[in-house]
Structure 1
Amino acid sequence: MTHEGTTSVDHGRGYYDQAHLDGRGDYSWDDEHWRDFFMSVADRLIGAFAPASVLDVGCGRGLLVQALTVQGVDASGLDISEHAVATAHADVRDRLAVASATAPIEGRYDLVTCIEVLEHMSATDAQLAIDRLTAVTDRVLFSSSPDPHGEPTHVNTQPGEAWAAWFAERGFFRRTDVDLSMITPWAVVFERGELTPHEIVRRYEQQYARVRTELLDKRRALLDADRAVNSLRERLDEGPADAEEVERLRAEVAQHRHAVLVSRDHVIGLEAENGRLQRDLSVVLPELRKLQRRVTVLTKRREELTAKLQDTRQRLERNRKRVAQLEAPPAPQASLTRRVARRVRRTFA
């Protein structure tokens, strides 16, 4: 089933006033929470990539653009919402433009960001948008909610491995050494690269091994905490000597119970990350192999065309020489007569 994408009307004043923006004050540069958040994001991006130029596709009111600009980055933004651009802060409004992510993008950028945008677009438009993003940069910071979360405008939510595979089709692969979960848990950087299956597997296995080790440690800690809680409960059931001992044991039970809950949350999060990495790898590797086969075919075709081009040039050169001979002017008649006379004199001398 296909879905129609959202339009500028869907992202008007009501959209920016809704609780989907966390209900944390006014979504503007003047709000301390949002200003601090985007300044921290800008710090992270500058620290990780040191970009001289950044384009934020789906920039909203341009808060990230403004945070980057404040720190000396040449940043600009595009957004489909006329309301968002019109209500942007005066300091950054001239850096923003109303445009769809499917429109051709001018220029070239060190980094393109696209945060929580493509889930609002139809499946067809989202693919075109990926083409536009990857055409103007070698690095894309990408985030797209994998869950509708009750948001009516989320018409095209996809799991992370699907986006990873689509970017891989364009020659972009996940940077496993960059953590941008401060933006969203599913934020990722895709970077252009000619990676071999060996390098792809090495990167993902490196990340998988770290997550797997941490997951096992958390599971072990969870089991130890659960055992401690059960031991304390048994001691309580045996009947401690006095009320003071009861309170101490209850405090220990509460402390261990909290540790169990924290460890359980960590295990759940690590298992989810582990699953995402495995799915990413299973999807990206076949796409990489397809790309390599395509490169092989195109390389062979290029060699064939190069040989044909050389043959055509040689034939063209031969034809050029023939034409030059045919177009050469005939020898003057007087000169020909003199040559004939000299030959007759030599013959009869």
Structure 2
Amino acid sequence: MSSPITESAGSSGAGGDGTTTTADDYGAHYYRHHLGPPYEPGHPHWTAFFDAVAERIVTTFRPATVLDAGCAKGILVGSLVGLGVDASGVDVSDYAIADGDPRAAGRLRVGSLVEPIEGRFDLITCIEVIEHMAQADAELALDNICAATDVLLLSTTPFDLNDTTHVNVRMPAHWASMLADRGFYRRFDLDLSWLTPWAAAYQRQPLSVREIVHGYEDRMPWLQIEVNEKRAHALGLSHELGEQEQQAEQLRHELLRQRDLVLGLQAEAARAQWEAEDATDRLEQAEQLLTRSRARARELENRLRTLSSSRALRVGQAVLRPAVTLRRKLR
């Protein structure tokens, strides 16, 4: 089911096309795999959700007595009881009732909505139920519900066709027309979108055609104005988004250009660093060669001083001096 709320229902007969569901369709497998988070009393998700729904129901309708028609495991009933409401529930699934919310102990019973409902209630809730019933059974269910209350909170998905138990998915106008045949008309002063986008309250009202038309026409122009304004706002946002996308594209190109520039600078810096390191290495080699050359020069100077001061050099010079003098004279 597409709705965030999924209460089971069933039927004892077939619709015009022979398609229907039975209590056997709403056993452990259904509650384990069809409803999102495990549909169990005490589960944080469902407890928080139905507690919030119960608070809105009490605030909106101020009911003393409530029947949840198609109550599943009675989590909403338990939440309403916790707020001081005399609430009860009925569901076709033996499994669901047996595993009911402890807060609703003694207030849940197994039963089909095609059977008459005992007692009367300030409010009956029927949340994501009648789309599970064949059309003929849905009509009987509405007959029985309308006989037991003057106010009905109805929510039935108009969209979710993927759930195999949704055998009678209809648009809200279909159900509104059926309820009008039974003297129930929509309360346009109540917005129940906190439950589902398609939820509505229907109340038994002895309205004339003039009053019915006035109710619809009093509401419709404002809804149309709201739709038009929101559409205009959405178009404006779409244009702004288009401009922002163009700006984002320009910024993306500039970012790519700057990235390429940075990569080029990084490459130049790497090359300059390599050249500097190479020059440093060559300078160190030159300094080492210079150091060795200076050491060699000092070594030669020392050897020369040693040789100059030696006795052998002085004797040699004395012996060679006459020969040198004679050679000069002969020139």
From 170, 176, 187, give the equivalent of 2:199. Answer: 187
Q: Contact (CA 8 Å) 2:132, 2:167: kept in 1 or not? A: yes
Residue by residue over 1:175-197, the C-alpha shift from the partner in whole angstroms, topping out at 9 and shown as x without a partner, is: 11111122222111110001122
Amino acid aligned to 2:155: S
Deviation at 1:209, TM superposition (A): 2.0
Aligned residue identity for 1:15: Y
Q: 2:137 aligns with which of 120, 125, 138?
A: 125
Q: Tell which deviates more after alignment, 208-217 or 220-229.
A: 220-229
Matches within 5 A, 1:156-171: 156-171=168-183
2:98 equivalent in structure 1: 86
Residue 57 of structure 2 is aligned to residue 45 of structure 1: yes
Q: In 2, Cα distance between the equivalents of 1:78 and 1:102? A: 12
- 8 Å contact kept, 2:161–2:169: no
Q: Which segment drifts farther, 195-204 or 81-90?
A: 195-204
CA distance in 1 between counterparts of 2:176 and 2:149 reads 17
Displacement, 1:215?
A: 1.4
Aligned equivalents of 1:56 and 1:198: distance in 2? 33
Does the 8 Å CA contact 1:79/1:85 hold for their aligned counterparts? yes
In 1, Cα distance between equivalents of 2:254 and 2:231: 35
AA aligned opposite 2:156: S
Corresponding position of 1:35: 47
Q: Which of 98, 123, 130 is the matching residue for 2:110?
A: 98
In structure 2, distance between residues paired with 1:229 and 1:142: 39
Distance 1:237 1:156, change over 3 A: closer
Amino acid at match of 2:188: T
Per the alignment, do residues 238 and 189 of structure 1 end up closer, same or farther by CA in structure 2, a change over 3 Å counting?
closer
**Structure-2 separation of matches of 1:233 and 1:4:** 51
Q: Which runs of 5+ in 2 are unaligned?
A: 1-15, 259-331
Give the distance between the partners of 1:189 and 1:29, measured in 2 at CA: 26
Residue type matched to 1:105 in 2? Answer: I
Residues 174-253 of structure 1 correspond to what in structure 2 (within 5 A)? Answer: 174-232=186-244
Q: Deviations over 1:8-27 (max 9, x none)?
A: 10001111011x31x22x21
In structure 2, the residue matched to 1:63 is 75
The answer to whether residue 88 in structure 2 is matched with residue 76 in structure 1 is yes
Using CA pairs under 8 Å that are at least 6 residues apart, name the structure with larger relative contact order, 1 or 2: 2
Higher radius of gyration, 1 or 2: 2
User: Partners in 2 of 1:237 and 1:104 — Cα distance?
Assistant: 66
CA distance in structure 2 between the partners assigned to 1:235 and 1:57 by the alignment: 55
Give the drift of 1:241: 11
Q: Are 1:135 and 2:147 matched, yes or no?
A: yes
Q: Which SS does the other structure have where 1:94 is aligned?
A: coil
Alignment partner of 1:2 out of 10, 14, 17 = 17
Displacement of 1:39: 0.8
Aligned residue for 1:91, secondary structure, equals: helix
Paired letter, 2:69: V
Give, in whole Å, the separation in 2 of the partners of 1:225 and 1:201. Answer: 36
Secondary structure of 2:46's partner? Answer: helix
Whole-Å separation in 2 of the counterparts to 1:187 and 1:196: 24
Identity %: 41
Distance 1:93 1:6, change over 3 A: farther
Residues 197, 29 of structure 1: alpha-carbon distance in 2 compared, 3 angstrom cutoff: same
Residues 134 and 238 of structure 1: is their aligned pair in 2 closer, same or farther, counting only changes over 3 Å? closer
Q: Contact 1:42/1:67 (CA < 8 Å) preserved in 2? A: yes
For 1:214 and 1:227, how far apart are their aligned partners in 2? 20
Correspondences of 1:310-325 after superposition (within 5 Å): none
Q: Which amino acid in structure 1 is aligned with residue 112 of structure 2?
A: S
**Pair 1:176–1:237, CA change in 2 (3 A):** same
> What is the 5 A alignment of 1:246-261?
none
Instruction: Give, in whole Å, the separation in 2 of the partners of 1:13 and 1:240.
Output: 54
> What is the match of residue 17 of structure 1?
32
2:295 alignment counterpart: none
Q: Aligned pair in 2 of structure 1 residues 240, 124: CA closer, same or farther (>3 Å)?
A: closer
Which residue identity does 2:138 align to in structure 1?
A: A
C-alpha displacement at 1:205, in angstroms? 2.2
Alpha-carbon offset, residue 202 of structure 1: 2.3
Q: Where does the alignment leave 5 or more consecutive residues of structure 1 unmatched?
A: 247-349
- TM-score in terms of structure 2 length: 0.68
Q: Determine helix, strand or coil for the equivalent of 2:18.
A: coil
